[in-house]
Amino acid sequence: MVASPHHDPNTQPSAQSAVTIRDATVEFPAGRRASDRVKAIENIDLDIPFGQRLALVGKSGCGKTTLLRVIAGLQSLSTGHCDHHNRGSTSFVFQQPALLPWRRVLGNVRLPIELQHGRRQLSSHESDILTTLKEVDLDDVAERFPYQLSGGMKMRVSIARALVTQPDLLLLDEPFAALDDLLRTQLGELVTQLWRSHGFTLVMVTHNIAEAILLSDRVCVMHEGQIAVTLENPIARAETASDKNGADLIRRTPEFAEFYGVVSDHLKKAGRT
Partner 1 sequence: MSVQAPRDHDRRSIPESRTTRTSRTTVSTPTSEALANVLSVSVVAVLGLLIWHISVRIFELPKILLPTPWEVAQAGWQNKEELCMASGVTFITAAISLLVAILIGGILSIIFSQSRLLRRAFFPYVVFLQTVPIVAIAPLLIIWSGYEFRTAVIATVIICLFPIVNNITTGLESSRPEHIDLFRLYGASRWQRLLRLQVPTSIRYLMLGARVSSGLAVIGAIVAEFFVSNGSDYVGLGALITRWQGLLQTDALIAALGMSTLLGLALFGLVNGIGRIFFTRYTRVD
Footprint of partner 1 (CB under 8 A): 69, 72-74, 89-92, 94-96, 98-102, 111-112, 114-116, 137, 140-141, 144-150, 153, 165
Closer CB to partner 1, 4 or 89, in the complex: 89
CB atoms under 10 Å from CB of 206, counted, come to 24
Distance CA 115, CA 107 (A): 12
State the nearest-atom distance from the C-beta of 108 to partner 1, in Å. Answer: 10
In the complex with partner 1, the residue whose CB is nearer, 141 or 229, is 141
Contact between 55 and 204 under an 8 Å Cβ cutoff? The reply is yes
Q: How far is the CB of 74 from partner 1 (least distance, A)?
A: 5
Q: How far is the CB of 43 from partner 1 (least distance, A)?
A: 25
Q: Report residue 84: phi and psi, to 5°.
A: -105, 135
Residue 203: which H helix or E strand, with range?
strand 201-206
Residue closer to partner 1 (CB basis): 118 or 254: 118
> Residue 61 has what DSSP assignment?
T
Task: Give the residue with the Cβ less far from partner 1, 30 or 100.
Answer: 100
Name the residue nearer to partner 1 (CB basis): 30 or 74.
74
Q: Taking the complex as a whole, how short is the minimal distance between the CB of residue 148 and partner 1, in angstroms?
A: 6
Min dist CB 101 to partner 1, Å, is 4
Smallest separation (angstroms) from partner 1 to the CB of 59: 22
Toward partner 1, which CB reaches closer, 115 or 249? Answer: 115
Bridge partners, residue 219, by sequence: 55, 231
For 234, residues 6+ apart whose C-beta sits below 8 A from its C-beta are 255, 259
Counts of helices then strands in the chain (DSSP H, E): 9, 9
Distances (CA, A) of 227 to 40, 63, 202: 12, 9, 18
Alpha carbons 224 and 212: distance in angstroms, whole number: 19
